[in-house]
Every structure is written in structure tokens, then in C-alpha cells.
Amino acid sequence: MTSPDPNVFVQIHDVLCRFFLCFDQRDWPSMVECLAPQVSIDYASSGREPPSTMSRRDFVERRQNAVDDLTKQHSFSNLLITQEAGEGVVSARCNYLILRFDLSPSRNQAQTQTQSQAQTQSQVPAISEENFFHSCGNYEFQLRDIQGEWKISSIKQNALQSWGNAALHGGSSQGRK
């Protein structure tokens, strides 16, 4: 395996950082800008939508409509990039960890007095089995150079494990029931 051009690696890394941050910040207009006009998706391994191709606006609209009120942090690591034989196409693979917390006061009222005191001091609710849903696995992306900018044209999620309260996350197969 040959190493990709370092400039390409940095550009791809930047696109993926921005893409994941868009989920965390619910920045839907910026997410559109990370995507190619048509996006192939495959979230079947997590029990979500089957493989399909859609416009970038439809992709973002689905994410926006499925949004919940959870606080999220998407992280990725072990980014590997392979430049395809033809210029302008790159495959990328990375591990992911998605942390999701329900920090709404209504769900956290069942906490003990000790936890409530700690919350007052730190302003962050204590973590319990009821107020989080985390996932890990890996993503496979394909990116295309479109008019000098790298855009995500394919997303495949390979879920490894999820834990916590699946009912919090509408995107999980358990959360949609």
C-alpha cells in the first residue's frame, strides 16, 4: 500500500472533521457543503436505513428530521486513505466513537440528592444508564474531487457495538420502536 499525497491526506482529514462536527453542532448547511451532489449510503449494519443513493440535500434532511435532543460528540481515529487509480477519487476508512448524552433536566430529575448536588457544582448531570447511548465501529468513505474540493460521495457504517439506552436515539433500530 502506498501512502497518499500528504496534501490530499490533510484535505480529506479536514472534510471528515467538518462532516462529523456538523452532526455535533447541528450545522446542516455546512454538512451539505461536505457532500457530493449524490451520496451513496449504507447504514444497514446499525439496523438503520438500507443501502441507497440520494441527493446531498435529502441526506442532510433525513439527518435533520431524525435529530434528537441529545448532546453528541463524534470522534474518529486510525484514518487510512487510498488514492484510486484514476485521479480525483479517494477511499478513506476510519474507526469511530459516537458519544450521545441526554442532558435534559426532565430525564435527569430521578437522580439522587447527592448527584443533584454534584450537578449544581459542575453544571453537568451525573451519568446513568438511562441518559446515554454510545456507539463505535468504522466508516468507509469515498470522496471525489469536485471542482478542486473533496466531497463525500459514499458513506458505509460498519457498527461494532452500541451501549446505553437505545430508546434515546431515533437512529438506532431499538430507538425507532
Is residue 172 helix, strand or coil?
A: coil
Asked whether the beta carbons of 41 and 21 are under 8 A apart, the reply is no
How many Å apart are CA 107 and CA 97, to the nearest integer?
24
Read off the DSSP letter of residue 87: T
Q: What is the pTM of this model?
A: 0.82
Report CA 145 to chain centroid distance, whole Å.
Answer: 22
Q: Which pLDDT tens digit goes with each residue over 80-135?
A: 999 877 779 999 999 999 999 987 765 544 444 444 444 444 555 566 667 899 99
Report CA 17 to chain centroid distance, whole Å.
Answer: 10
Asked whether the beta carbons of 155 and 60 are under 8 A apart, the reply is no
How many Å apart are CA 121 and CA 116, to the nearest integer?
9
Calculate the average pLDDT of the chain.
84
- In this prediction, residue 167 has a pLDDT band, given cuts at 50, 70 and 90, of confident
Question: Phi and psi at residue 9, in whole multiples of 5°?
Answer: -55, -50
Asked if CATH classification 3.30.420.130 holds for the domain at 6-168, the reply, yes or no, is no
